[in-house]
Structure 1
């Protein structure tokens, strides 16, 4: 018993042989059409065109399988439409209507999926546009440039949207990106111009410093160089590292050159007895300086009171900077120095007697019978009345004249203050 020839049976179901040709029966709304001719036998011809149909069906099956597994299914739409047209023109014997229905169903499902994807794509592109437009005012150029790069890549990977919205969205996104690049270009142009101006300002300061480095007007030049240093700090410009280092080296070299000369000049102007045999900053040098200051203080007694007071103040400031020295001679120098200064201040008392006599000191109402310390500074001409917490006093040299008074009346003037003086030094 022979087995049934299934391919031949299927081929005869959808086609036939007539006048030496192979015909496909009416299908898909089209009349019967001749698809080939018989070369050997009728059965062989029918089997051949049946195999052609099977190959076409396998091709469609593979496409539908890939469609189901694809992430971007929208790219299969044109292939589905093309295969539907091929079903009407393909030369084979088989159920083309069934294949056509499968392709139509896949197209419908694909359209639903595409619609959903386009909604997602629309939301994604709107988000990307918002991020691009948010960079409108940023000045973080490096970070923003990386962000724009990522946004452009994400835009290219995002699928299409409805055709009616495509042009508008493309215009907004690319417009925002282009605006960012235009702003960045303008910033870079301005930065280059600013860098040129900064270099010019630094070079001008360098030239001024180099013009002053050999000046012999040490005091005035020192002030000018200090001003140049402040101006250098105020520029606070950003330059390439190599260029900035070169300018700073020249500027610093000019300053160092002048101040080294100033240091040598100061050394030559110091008193002769301070320099020989004494290490700078050593106790020996400090002792020599204190000896000189004591002599200079004693010499002030011969000067007019106003001049003597001013110079005594200056000597006191120098004494504080002369350094610490221990030993009996240091104490003796201190006594000599302070007694000389006190003498100068006491000599200045007549100059301020008139001011003192016209001054009125008022004690608190609860201070009857209290002791007060009257202190005045000859340079400022100001007098202060301070209540004492103790009736015992110590007498030691002071730079300013001080009076201890016993307050009996409520109102004190110079005329009734003198009889109540306990100590004057």
Structure 2
């Protein structure tokens, strides 16, 4: 028995015992030649994968089969990763290519063609995943673009429209945070949208600064105008020209409201002065009017009696001409009495107006009743209705005789309507008689 040392193509050194008789050991996927050369069988034919000079040929095949098994394990691991993880298509393709190179140049014995086919299948799956990942990426970018376009659109609206600066500023900060938290779109879209977002934020800041810069000027103008209003109000506080002065105070109040607001301290001080002057005038006016009303109580008592007398004498109106003559007398007596206190004025004047209105309506009704033109129109209308009723009665009889229920119903409805109109016209003519 001889002992020999040799090298295979993987730089591994093994030792085997060689008998004096040369042998050739074979396997479905490879063989060991009598000189120790190890071959693998593929669809392209045999190729050398190494040599074995120390040990039995079976050991050589077992050694190179273990190398094949290691490749199988790597392929299986990649299949598992592709099936159970979100491994990117680019990383998976790189791993497949690395394994393909390893299989192509493998110093191993086994079904290398089957491994190559498994790698081909993996490549197809990866290409499919690549398409799916691309679609998912495009959908994600489209969704991100939609989200950020909405954010930008609202930011532009806030920048252009809002005048509530505190809430507007808070909302603008929230929109910036929403932008940062949102997924990213493609680079060009991100840059374009961010440019709009930044412009909206800057525009809002400029508008807010301009507003507050002008606010001080507006407050100063309001202060000057309200000082003028207060000065006039204080001059009028002791006026006894009650009507015109009260009207002027109402005008000053409208001017005050339209003037805008000064700073808070100044506003409060000026309002205190304005209200004090106004209260002083109206307190004096109310006292004077109350005194005058007390003097006018006698007039009110006279008009109460005169109103009751007019009601008894004129209502209900039976003779409009006579009522008109007597009403003129009551009107003259009413005017001679003079003014009454404010708290009863509307009631008394309203009661007297109702009597006047009753007389006027009675006169109108009398004129309509005796108006020859109105009577002629009513008589013409009655004649037309009588003629129409006669025609409809004939149509109704014919329809019933012919058994035409539809025409009979229509004729009956029309006949009933015209009979109702005729009754109304008859009442009108009776009133004119």
TM-score (norm 2): 0.46
More helix per residue: 1 or 2? 2
TM-score by length of 1: 0.47
